[in-house]
Amino acid sequence: MKKIILLLLAAVALASCKTSEEIPFVEMKNYFFRNDANIPEDIRIDSREEFDSLFGSAAFMGQGGEPTPVDFSREIVLAVVNPVTDVATDLDPVSVVRKGNTLVFTCKETTGDKQTWTMQPVLLVKVDRSNDPGAARVEKIK
Tens of pLDDT along 101-136?
A: 999 999 999 999 999 999 999 999 999 999 999 999
Say how many domains are in the chain.
1
Cα→Cα distances 114→25, 88, 90, 118, 121, Å: 31, 6, 13, 9, 14
The verdict on residue 103 lying in a domain is yes
In a domain, 8, yes or no: no
Question: Which range of residues forms the domain containing residue 120?
Answer: 19-141
- Assigned domain for 14 exists: no
Please give the C-alpha separations between residue 134 and each of 27, 84, 94, 110, 115, in angstroms, as whole numbers: 20, 28, 21, 29, 38
* Any domain includes 1: no
* pTM for the whole structure: 0.83
Amino acid at 42: D
The verdict on residue 35 lying in a domain is yes
Report yes or no on 101 lying in a domain. Answer: yes
Q: Is the pLDDT of residue 61 over 90?
A: no
Over residues 52-71, mean pLDDT: 89
Average pLDDT over residues 1-28: 62
